[in-house]
């Protein structure tokens, strides 16, 4: 259920970002980069995403179809674009920063059942569109700008209510309060040797047909656009030529703010709102880009997972490794390895011989899980730095249990009933001052242990040294947990429990003091890493992997 706060005053300016022609144009990145540019001009920003699909949230969607599920501090399972938003602005996203058609409808229908609309016929306009507008305008923190990205591509049936809602907002709030930014593609047709503007013209027509006149066009292209083509787009799309901004392809995503600034995107936004065009402070972005472009060394790290066919499934993870690289002046080369390979043939682990670090990320389900245990055994025995995240921690504990603690029957109750349920379903835990309870019969959507929870670090551990703090807060997304009752047996087998929930009942971090760098965490540190503030676990893991590569 959506809980909407009252609209505050002064109202922020809204920038609505739509996409046309094709999907995957980097709309989310564009929105994030623009927000970063506005921040660099001293403005306070918030980013939001409106997703047209019918799932209530992406929590139950396959990572290989939809990409990573990004979890917020307040426990919402959201679209991966929110990860870009946080990485580019450092502003922590909240539940109220992502909504889907499914959530809007389930809220409207719940209100209808309650009798809130008694007597009325419930319709898309105005009931659904009103709910969308209320969502867009809810939970602000005196931001100067709220950037609202509409998922999907203009012309999709699903996105119509969202477009209608932002059209109405544009009308109600006026042009001085709203700006429509449309992201399109200008394809290069090699056979003709030309850039083609027609798809952009058609896409703008489509947008105009639902009553939205874009103020700024961000045209993604591989080649510079001749001036005359820019003029043509401006003429046919009814905007001024300076508002046709080129979004050229760049070498890495952190160059996007600098590139879009050079093309005049933020200056055009200032012009639209009648704000002074002062020079932004982009030194942080220059620093990050210089670091990425000029590394002192290179290190290869293997990610052994199940969703390796779509790297978007591990979006934040890949980025957190880039950040760990920036902190160590190193380029991190990632080898994506399907963990099932290690189940099929004995020789497969040989593929791990040349890597300097092994990472087993979060995951669900049995497929490939035994392969992960074999990769972890390899990392432990060959003294290769190991970072296990969530599922990767649970598997590391099972590896020690089976191979070093004499518990051959140890397993996880995520897949049936193991002889020794070392990893079991969490049925009760504390969240703030509330007790959360779950059973095996619960719904799967939104019922995991989600969001930020505190963790206390043990003195004298690797984790404590890395974080340099006694209490940390990290984001979680799991249903199963290492059973603390086996702590003594695991510690006898060389494992140390270095982080626990404040009540001591939930193991949060494990490590192996007999190994150069072996850490497993029950949470997802990758979700909080930023290019300008790399996460200590990734900085430490990359540093240890560099050390390993020097030893080989
Ligand atoms: N499947 C495991 C659990 O639910 C791990 C989840 C994860 O890796 N995010 O506990």
37-62 pLDDT, tens per residue? 999 999 999 999 999 999 988 888 88
At residue 8, does pLDDT exceed 60?
Answer: no
At residue 7, does pLDDT exceed 50?
Answer: no
Topology classification of domain 13-287: Rossmann fold (3.40.50)
Distance 110 CA to ligand 1 centre (A): 31
Active site residue 481: no
Q: Domain ranges in the chain?
A: 13-287, 297-551
Average pLDDT over residues 87-102: 96
Average pLDDT over residues 1-21: 74
At residue 6, does pLDDT exceed 80?
Answer: no
Using the atom order of ligand 1, give the atom closest to the CA of residue 414.
1
Residues in the chain: 552
Q: How far is CA 504 from CA 113, 401, 466, 487, in A?
A: 43, 20, 21, 11
Active site residue 219: no
Nearest CA to ligand 1 atom 5: 391
DSSP assigned state of 530: B
Nearest CA to ligand 1 atom 7: 362
pLDDT in tens, 377-433: 999 999 999 999 999 999 999 999 999 999 999 999 998 889 999 998 888 778 887
Give the sheet arrangement for strand 145-150, strand by strand: 98-100, 45-51, 145-150, 13-19, 178-185, 216-221, 244-248
Average pLDDT over residues 151-179: 94
Distance 320 CA to ligand 1 centre (A): 19
Give pTM, 2 decimals: 0.92
**Per-residue tokens: 425:** 């379903």
Judge contact between 9 and 115, C-beta under 8 A: no
Average pLDDT over residues 525-538: 97
pLDDT in tens, 15-34: 999 998 887 788 999 999 99
**Per-residue tokens: 18:** 């739509």
Tell me which residues have their CB closer than 6 angstroms to ligand 1: 362-364, 390-391, 414, 477-480
Domains 13-287 and 297-551 share a fold: yes
pLDDT score recorded for residue 343: 84
Nearest CA to ligand 1 atom 8: 362
Judge contact between 100 and 52, C-beta under 8 A: yes
pLDDT score recorded for residue 22: 81
**∠ Cα 441 442 443 (to 5°):** 125
pLDDT in tens, 204-261: 999 999 999 999 999 999 888 888 889 999 999 999 999 999 999 899 999 999 999 9
First and final C-alpha spacing in the chain: 55
Using the atom order of ligand 1, give the atom closest to the CA of residue 423.
10
pLDDT in tens, 365-374: 888 899 999 9
CB burial string 281-309: b at 16+ within 10 A, e below: ebebbeebbebbeeeeeebebbbbbbbbe
At residue 346, does pLDDT exceed 80?
Answer: no
At residue 340, does pLDDT exceed 90?
Answer: no
Nearest CA to ligand 1 atom 1: 364
Q: Are strands 45-51 and 98-100 parallel, antiparallel or unpaired?
A: parallel
The whole-angstrom separation of Cα 376 and Cα 518 is: 10
Using the atom order of ligand 1, give the atom closest to the CA of residue 361.
8
3-class SS of residue 391: helix
Domain spanning 297-551: CATH 3.40.50.880: yes
Active site residue 417: no
At residue 356, does pLDDT exceed 60?
Answer: yes
Distance 393 CA to ligand 1 centre (A): 9
pLDDT score recorded for residue 349: 78
The whole-angstrom separation of Cα 524 and Cα 316 is: 9
Distance 390 CA to ligand 1 centre (A): 6
Distance 448 CA to ligand 1 centre (A): 9
What is the residue-averaged pLDDT of the chain?
92
pLDDT score recorded for residue 484: 92
Please tell me which residue in 390, 399, 474, 515 is annotated as part of the active site. 390
pLDDT in tens, 430-461: 888 788 888 877 778 878 889 999 999 999 99
Please tell me which residue in 182, 323, 476, 524 is annotated as part of the active site. 524
């Amino acid at each position: 259920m959506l809980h909407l706060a009252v609209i505050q005053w002064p109202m922020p300016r809204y920038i609505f970002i739509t996409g046309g022609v094709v999907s995957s144009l980097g709309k989310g990145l564009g929105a994030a980069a623009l927000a970063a540019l506005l921040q660099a001009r001293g403005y306070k920003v918030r980013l939001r995403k409106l997703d047209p699909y019918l799932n209530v949230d992406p929590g139950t969607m396959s990572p290989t179809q939809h990409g990573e599920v990004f979890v917020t501090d307040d426990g919402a399972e959201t679209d991966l674009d929110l990860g870009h938003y946080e990485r580019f602005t450092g502003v922590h996203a909240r539940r109220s920063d992502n909504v889907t058609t499914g959530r809007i409808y389930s809220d409207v229908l719940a209100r209808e059942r309650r009798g809130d609309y008694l007597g009325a016929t419930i319709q898309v306009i105005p009931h659904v569109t009103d709910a969308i507008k209320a969502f867009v305008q809810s939970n602000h923190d005196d931001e100067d700008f709220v950037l609202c990205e509409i998922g999907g591509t203009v012309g999709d049936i699903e996105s119509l209510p969202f477009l209608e809602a932002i059209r109405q907002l544009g009308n109600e709030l006026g042009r001085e309060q709203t700006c429509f930014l449309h992201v399109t593609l200008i394809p290069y047709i090699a056979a003709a040797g030309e850039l083609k503007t027609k798809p952009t013209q058609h896409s703008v027509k489509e947008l105009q047909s639902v009553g939205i006149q874009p103020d700024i066009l961000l045209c993604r292209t591989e080649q510079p656009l001749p001036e005359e083509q820019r003029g043509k787009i401006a003429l046919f799309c009814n905007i001024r030529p300076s508002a046709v901004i080129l979004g050229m392809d760049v070498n890495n995503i952190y160059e996007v703010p600098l590139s879009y600034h050079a093309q005049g995107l933020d200056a055009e936004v200032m012009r639209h709102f009648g704000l002074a065009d002062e020079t932004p402070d982009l030194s942080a972005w220059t620093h990050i880009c210089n670091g990425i472009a000029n590394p002192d060394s290179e290190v290869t790290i293997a990610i052994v997972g199940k969703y390796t066919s779509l790297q978007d499934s591990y979006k934040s993870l890949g980025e957190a490794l880039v950040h760990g690289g920036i902190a160590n002046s190193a380029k991190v080369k990632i080898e994506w390895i399907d963990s099932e390979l290690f189940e099929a043939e004995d020789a497969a682990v040989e593929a791990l011989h040349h890597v300097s670090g092994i990472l087993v990320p979060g995951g669900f389900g049995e497929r490939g899980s035994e392969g992960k245990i074999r990769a972890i055994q390899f990392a432990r025995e060959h003294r290769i730095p190991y970072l296990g995240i969530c599922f990767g921690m649970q598997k590391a504990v099972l590896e020690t249990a089976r191979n070093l603690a004499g518990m051959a029957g140890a397993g996880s109750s995520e897949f049936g009933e193991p002889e020794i349920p070392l990893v079991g379903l969490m049925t009760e835990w504390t969240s703030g001052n509330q007790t959360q309870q779950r059973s095996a019969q619960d719904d799967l959507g939104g019922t995991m242990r989600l969001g930020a929870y505190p963790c206390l670090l043990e003195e004298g551990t690797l984790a404590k040294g890395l974080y340099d703090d006694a209490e940390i807060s990290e984001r979680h997304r799991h249903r199963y947990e290492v059973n603390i009752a086996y702590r003594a047996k695991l510690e006898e087998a060389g494992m140390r429990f270095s982080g626990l929930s404040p009540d001591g009942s939930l193991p949060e971090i494990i490590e192996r003091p007999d190994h150069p760098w072996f850490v497993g965490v029950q949470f997802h540190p990758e979700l909080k890493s930023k290019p300008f503030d790399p996460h200590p676990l990734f900085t430490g893991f990359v540093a240890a992997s560099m050390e390993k590569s020097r030893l080989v």
